[in-house]
């Protein structure tokens, strides 16, 4: 089984897969966990579930996040002429 196929990862393995030095990842963990980053699972030697980490990162920073408008402007009609939507 390739390392990339392993589902439960240590914090060091997670940092490597994300592309951060381990200490930078550990420094960021408290803030990440406050926003829903997957926690360690005691049934799997206190490792984190990689697919859940990927889903978290995709939701936080993935391509779809750039298309979401947080406060969309209301549609306006033109003063005169055809409707503008």
pTM to 2 decimals? 0.70
What is the rounded distance in angstroms from the CA atom of residue 81 to the CA atom of residue 78?
7
pLDDT of 66: 56
Q: Which helix (H) or strand (E) holds 54?
A: helix 50-61
**CB neighbour list of residue 8: distance below 8 Å, 6 or more residues apart:** 41, 44, 45, 47, 48, 49, 50
Answer whether 53's CB lies under 8 Å from 37's CB.
Answer: yes
* 38 domain residue, yes or no: yes
Range of the domain at 53: 3-61
* 69 domain residue, yes or no: no
Looking at the 3D structure of the chain, how many domains does it have?
1
Render each residue's pLDDT in the chain as its tens digit; 85 residues: 777 789 999 999 999 999 999 999 999 999 999 999 999 999 999 999 999 999 999 999 876 655 555 555 555 555 665 655 5
* 83 domain residue, yes or no: no
* 24 domain residue, yes or no: yes
């Amino acid at each position: 089984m390739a390392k990339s196929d392993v589902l439960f990862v240590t914090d060091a393995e997670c940092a490597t897969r994300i592309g951060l030095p381990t200490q930078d990842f550990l420094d960021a963990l408290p803030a990440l966990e406050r926003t829903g980053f997957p926690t360690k699972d005691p049934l799997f030697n206190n490792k984190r579930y990689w697919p859940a980490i990927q889903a978290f990162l995709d939701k936080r920073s993935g391509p779809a996040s750039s298309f979401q408008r947080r406060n969309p402007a209301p549609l306006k009609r033109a003063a005169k002429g055809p409707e503008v939507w």
